[in-house]
Amino acid sequence: MGELGHWVMRKNSSRRQFEDWIFITSPQSISPFQFDPEHNFLLQIRGKKTVHVFDQFDRAILSEKYLEKYYTEGSANAKLDYTEEMQKKAMTFDINPGEGVFVPLTAPHWVKVEDNVSISLSVTFYCDEADRKARLYRFNSRLRRLGMTPTPYRASAFRDATKEAVIATYLKTRQLLGRAPTQTTDRY
């Protein structure tokens, strides 16, 4: 897995936090439409699954406001809506034992187990890009609450870099003033 993680994160990531999950699921089970804030390799061990993965950059499926709410309030307060109309945009993978699928950072997806018990291994990993994405969506949410219309994440490298500089300056100023970091103030 280290080689696969290196391949995905090779661009500019120094952070490598892997987590493994084993899923044992009943026949005909469905995992609801969702996304994960990390990269994911889903590897099938027993049974068969059908995995439907959607483009994480398609804002008709995953809006900027939804992402801001997710990163600010958490998944419990940000339900991702699914409609049958979206399904035609899915990339569908039937995975059997010994096969797998890569689900990129924040790519919406849903999974259906076929007629047998399914056992799969999910290897998730975080990288610098996941942290950056979370910080910038939280920052955009704050700007929106101030009545502004923030430039979406990745729409402008310059504006993203400027926002990152503002965040870094804010956090450094808090540190210099001796203000202890808190989850509310320093979750950029």
pLDDT at 78: 74
**In this structure, which amino acid lies at residue 147?**
G
**What pLDDT was estimated at residue 13?**
57
Q: How far, in whole angstroms, is CA 138 from its chain's centroid?
A: 14
Alpha carbons 62 and 79: distance in angstroms, whole number? 11
Task: Write out the chain's pLDDT in tens, 188 residues.
Answer: 555 555 555 554 565 678 899 999 999 999 999 999 899 999 999 999 999 999 999 999 999 999 999 999 887 677 788 999 999 999 999 999 999 999 999 999 999 999 999 999 999 988 888 889 999 999 999 999 999 999 999 999 999 999 999 998 988 888 888 876 655 445 55
CA 122 distance to own-chain centroid:
14
**Burial of 86 per CB tally in 10 Å (0-12, 13-18, 19+):** middle
CA 53 to chain centre: 12
Give pLDDT, residue 12: 45
Question: What separation, in Å, do the N-terminal and C-terminal C-alpha atoms of the chain show?
Answer: 29
Q: What pLDDT sits at residue 177? A: 87
Domain 2-127 in CATH 2.60.120.650? The answer is yes
Domain ranges in the chain are 2-127, 129-176
Distance from C-alpha of 188 to C-alpha of 184, rounded to nearest angstrom: 9
pLDDT at 58: 96
pLDDT of residue 115: 95
Secondary-structure percent of the chain, ordered helix, strand, coil, rounded to 5: 35, 25, 40
